[in-house]
Amino acid sequence: MSEELRLVTCTAPVNIAVIKYWGKRDEKLILPINDSISVTLSSEQMHAKTTVTASSTFLEDKIWLNKELQASSSRLSSCLEEVRAKARQLEAPAVNPDWKVRICSENNFPTAAGLASSAAGYACLVSALCQLYGIKGDTSILARRGSGSACRSVYGGFVHWKMGERADGEDSRAFQLHPACHWPEMRVLICVASDTRKKTSSSTGMKNSVQTSQLLKYRAEEIVPKRTLEMIEAIKEKDFSKFAQITIKDSNQFHAVCQDTYPPCVYLNPTSHQVSSLVHQINNFSGRFVATYTFDAGPNACIFLMEKDVPKVLGLLKYFFAEGDEFVRGEELPMEEATEAETSKYSVDRIAGGLKYVICTRPGEGPEVLAADQHLLNNQGEPKFMQ
């Protein structure tokens, strides 16, 4: 190959919604029926990593995800075309937007298991492509075209996705409320009850909910607007009690919508219910909000808490749900072994192996550009794993 390939590699983080996005008013443009608020997690523990390049010699677009060549999809094609259209508006794009691209991406956490893999993946893809072409400024609208929640992963810390009102979606974008350092004491425990692909995809579940759930309509119009303002204030004031209560209520209502959908979307499993029960009992016995939980479209709990309370909560999670020693992953945080005197007061079913593991993390920043030694493609545009 005579030309010198321009290679760009980025990482992008997972984000966890505390005010949920569920339901689109426009399927093609991916426009939501309500605002949402999320917390971006540290890329050190959970991230998507993507390398992109383009060449006049490539005959077709190719994308590899987790070492598998992907068939073309409407979402991927739409996202690519939106970025290319933006690049064509530049006076001098760094790379010709008409050239075909090669994309290699991998997640260091389970894909399609209700852990926001598509959010990280599309935020990473768009960030890398914008770097490749030389596109500056806000990229959340472009990321939204791949996956709605991806628009929130282009920013770190605490993020507000405004649903917007325009039919063309140009005002449906994300804004950073506060950087991750705004609430330095916050920690996050990702409780992995299942790392396999979920039976009902988020896209299918949302579509069915919009068509059949009366509760979803009421939630979007009456509940979320007020709840969003309350959550923005709770985050601003670092009021964990308020943050915790809103987070739990919104998660529970989201899953009530899933049950109200026809046919119902069942994302939680017995371990999910026991984890949520444990959190409520910890809070009740402590006389304060020690922890709060939220579940996306999957059985895996995301528990927010303050650093000082991590040892106790980790110890109880291990006692009730672990099987074996390889239970805690990610950031090294202290754990307090639960005593019999402590555990005997909890009315929680002990499910050995109910949680495969817990990932310890914290709020983090947005996408990052990596050095050349981190590329997933070689100088010929071929995946390095194929060498």
Model confidence pLDDT, tens digit, residues 303-362? 999 999 999 999 999 999 999 888 999 999 999 999 999 999 999 999 999 999 999 999
What mean pLDDT, rounded, does the chain reach?
94
Residue identified by tokens 């109910």 is 354
171 and 226 belong to one structural domain: no
CATH of the domain at 239: 3.30.70.890
Residue 172 DSSP label: -
Structure tokens at 370: 């990596």
> Are the CB atoms for 199 and 298 separated by under 8 Å?
no
23 and 167 belong to one structural domain: yes
282 and 160 belong to one structural domain: no
Write out pLDDT tens, residues 227-273. Answer: 999 999 999 999 999 999 999 999 999 999 999 999 999 999 999 99
Residue 299 DSSP label: S
200 and 296 belong to one structural domain: yes
Long-range CB contact pairs, 259-266, < 8 A, 24+: 260/209, 260/212, 260/213, 260/214, 260/215, 260/216, 261/205, 261/208, 261/209, 261/212, 261/213, 261/216, 262/208, 262/212, 262/213, 263/208, 265/200, 265/205, 265/208, 265/209, 265/297, 266/200
Which range of 73-77, 107-111, 163-167 scores highest in mean pLDDT? It is 163-167
168 and 38 belong to one structural domain: yes
138 and 216 belong to one structural domain: no
> Are the CB atoms for 288 and 317 separated by under 8 Å?
no
**pLDDT reading at 112 higher than 80:** no
pTM for this model (two decimals): 0.94
- pLDDT bin (cut points 50, 70, 90) of residue 1 is very low
Residue identified by tokens 């071929």 is 382
- pLDDT bin (cut points 50, 70, 90) of residue 2 is very low
Number of separate domains in the chain? 2
Write out pLDDT tens, residues 285-294. Answer: 999 999 999 9
Which range marks the domain in which residue 201 is found? Answer: 186-361
- C-alpha–C-alpha distance, residues 142 and 157, integer Å: 20
71 and 120 belong to one structural domain: yes
Rounded to a whole number of angstroms, the CA Rg of the chain reads 21
- pLDDT bin (cut points 50, 70, 90) of residue 115 is low
225 and 336 belong to one structural domain: yes
- pLDDT bin (cut points 50, 70, 90) of residue 387 is confident
Q: Is residue 2 part of a domain?
A: no
Write out pLDDT tens, residues 22-34. Answer: 999 999 999 999 9
Q: Is residue 3 part of a domain?
A: no
Q: Which residues pair with 305 in a beta bridge?
A: 187, 291
pLDDT, position 113: 47
Structure tokens at 366: 């947005």
